[in-house]
Amino acid sequence: MGQLRLGALDALQKDGLARRTELLPMCKIGTLPKPSDHGTQYPLDPQLQTVADGETRRVRSAIAFSWRMALLGGVFTVGDDPGIGEFLSRNRLQELSALRTETFGTKRPSQKTYEGYIRELSRFIISRGGQGLPSNISPVERRWIELRALARKSETLTPARVMNLAAVSTPAKAEGLSLRDLTRDWFAERLAVLPAEKRRAFSSACYTLNELVAIHGRSVDCLPPNCTGVRRKR
């Protein structure tokens, strides 16, 4: 038995006799999304969908694929419903820009296309009064962005622990250092000179880094080659 084309049903909407049979749908069906479409596998949250519906095809595609990458990369999770301002805040855009399509086995769109989408969304949010991406992101800053994105994907790390990584990243970035540059001596020397009120946050961030190294080993470039050397006191 041949499959009835949906387009044929839509065409019959123009036929008065066909409509009077009351066998047709109430309105045209239109084109159904393909199983491979981003919106099929990773539907937009309601607030983002409302914005996307009123934009150009290019912006709609950029929002749809970037949302997919945000879910895969742990920048957001299924069930989150951010507004466009939160989704495209500077911090979120930086985290999104650090993601790589090949990490998730995505071949289409390509990494180059994805990077173009991020630039498009940066311009888009600037036009709506947002900050967008800074004009230049240093390699060191990109590594720290990658670290935060990696930490967000961990089921054992709370948002508070991810945010507390700044206790290590802030002084390291001030010295122009990425995590790969940090040695156990650096962690020990930094911890020794910190005032008591900052020592706890720094130590907690070190414990978080140790956990990430234990999970991922040396397979991730944004992690230090060895643990921090800072251990919990028993």
Higher-confidence position of 208 and 141: 208
pLDDT, mean over the chain:
83
What average pLDDT does the segment 132-149 reach? 80
pLDDT at 216: 80
pLDDT band at residue 231 using 50, 70 and 90 as cut-offs: confident
123: its two tokens: 């311009």
pLDDT at 5: 65
Separation of CA 161 from chain center: 18
pLDDT band at residue 227 using 50, 70 and 90 as cut-offs: confident
What average pLDDT does the segment 186-207 reach? 92
Higher-confidence position of 229 and 64: 64
What average pLDDT does the segment 92-103 reach? 90
Higher-confidence position of 91 and 108: 91
> What's the pTM value of the predicted model, to 2 decimals?
0.55
- Indicate the range of 25-34, 156-165, 180-189 predicted with least confidence: 25-34
Residue-wise pLDDT for 66-75, tens only, equals: 999 999 988 9
pLDDT at 156: 86
pLDDT at 12 over 80: no
Write down the residue that tokens 């962005």 correspond to.
145
pLDDT at 197: 85
Higher-confidence position of 121 and 217: 121
